[in-house]
Amino acid sequence: MNRTLPVNKNDYIDVVFEDLTHDGAGVAKVDGYPLFVPNGLPGEKAKIKVIKANKGYGFGRLIELYEKSPYRVDIDQSDLHKYGGCQLEHISYEGQLKYKENQVRQVLTRIGKLEDVVVHPILGMDYPWHYRNKAQVPVGEKDGQLIAGFFKPRSHEIVDTDESLIQLNEVNEAINVVKEICSKYGIPAYQEEPHKGVLRHIMARYGKQTGELMVVLITRSSELPHKNQLVEEISARLPQVKSIVHNVNPKRTNVILGEKTTVLWGSEVIYDYIGNVKFAISALSFYQVNPDQTRVLYEKALEYADINGEESVIDAYCGIGTISLFLAQKARKVFGVEIVPEAIEDAKRNAAINGIKNAEFAAGEAEVVIPKWYKEGNTADVLVVDPPRKGCDEALLKTIIEMKPRKVVYVSCNPATLARDLRILEDGGYKTVEVQPVDMFPQTTHVECVSQLILKL
């Protein structure tokens, strides 16, 4: 027993939750010692059981609530399968928005030491359900039938799911139909430990504006049993389907998609629009999963870029050209860079589809390509970054500071790394003017932000 800690494993204690962690667990403190408890909400009084006590923090389990938060939503336990991946399903949407906005404000102050930045009220959705245009669900077997859904937390046990409340209805239907057809023809599910079986995942992608559907069957083996029958039945039962694709991933890995992709039926891509920009989406394309809020996010980025037709713009981490093509409608020239070569090919194709001729794209690491452009004398009036969760590379931030674009627009999916990078840019001569949080992923802990920085004179 560790007498230096204020709590020990298996203790039952009464607490008041003060905050939420980045993954939605309640935070309570005993003599300054933090305890992280799933399902606890700020302001609630509760009895918890300590299940783990580390040196600097511990974990607990909620035993009894004495006082509930006004933002708590009681979930029917029989419906929990509908909430796979939803860490905040027990919080009202008003409460979720308040939590996310507060999270952004706190990290900007705590990590970025940014005291006087304007943080606007978060932009939420009118209807925060059934918004995801893509699902990729693991497949298993139970009682001789295929099951597909999501993994239980901290396990590889699959919960069979026939409806997800955050997927578009068309996506839910596609997953169910494909699961039923594959089960009918006895397609063996992939088994992780022995590395046997065939079907690993079912993916469905849907163009909300076009109504076009793509189905992707991801298998361990290059052979897909009953391939012709599967294609015939899927195309017959899902009239919106425009593309049926077979992806092969033979590796022992948690990565979902493999390197080999074959079109079994229909087109290689489906199409969708964000605003008035049309995008071709392949099985491997990165495309935002909430198209309604993506438009909100990109229009805010365009507003913060404040371009009038004379500017040269660099879009780091450009993906398939989503932000670049929005910017190109107003900028003189846009240069996009992305590490994934296939994404660059998609970006070039999307520029051609939209008749956009003032956007150029290069494959490579932003932190390598942009410094190279700078050394060659290519500069930017406006620079846009939309990095992965780890934030911007140090070399890229250094180049931005040396290049001195008059304006930087930082689109972020991680407030903590955003705050860190804003601090570096501030120390390098920039002023963070305003930050706009956008709720791209209702019912989850994730929050996106668009930030505007201007060069200090």
Q: Tell me: the pLDDT tens digits for 387-404?
A: 999 999 998 999 999 999
Domains located in the chain, CATH noted: 12-67 (2.40.50.140), 99-126+290-455 (3.40.50.150), 134-274 (2.40.50.1070)
Amino acid identity at 340: V
Question: Tokens for 311?
Answer: 């500017």
**pLDDT tens figures, 15-74:** 999 988 877 899 999 999 999 999 999 999 999 999 999 999 999 999 999 999 999 998
Mean pLDDT score, 203-222: 97
Percent of the chain surpassing pLDDT 90: 82
- Per-residue pLDDT at 371: 87
Mean pLDDT score, 167-181: 96
Closest CA to 8 of 30, 39, 32: 30
- Per-residue pLDDT at 3: 58
Mean pLDDT score, 167-196: 95
Is residue 413 annotated as part of the catalytic site, yes or no? yes
**pLDDT tens figures, 117-140:** 999 999 999 999 999 999 999 999
CA distances from 149 to 120, 161, 172, 266 (A): 36, 5, 10, 26
Task: Tell me which of 86, 318, 413, 449 is the catalytic residue.
Answer: 413
- Per-residue pLDDT at 302: 94
For residue 1, pLDDT over 70 is answered with no
- Per-residue pLDDT at 80: 57
For residue 213, pLDDT over 80 is answered with yes
The mean pLDDT value of the chain amounts to: 93
**Neighbour-count burial of 70, counting CB atoms closer than 10 A to its CB (0-12 exposed, 13-18 middle, 19+ buried):** exposed
**pLDDT tens figures, 333-361:** 999 999 989 899 999 999 999 999 999 99
Helix axes 394-403, 415-427, angle to 10 degrees: 40
Is this model's pTM higher than 0.85 or not?
Answer: yes
CA distances from 265 to 60, 83, 229, 243 (A): 51, 32, 12, 6
- Per-residue pLDDT at 83: 61
Q: Are strands 26-30 and 33-37 parallel, antiparallel or unpaired?
A: antiparallel
For residue 321, pLDDT over 90 is answered with yes
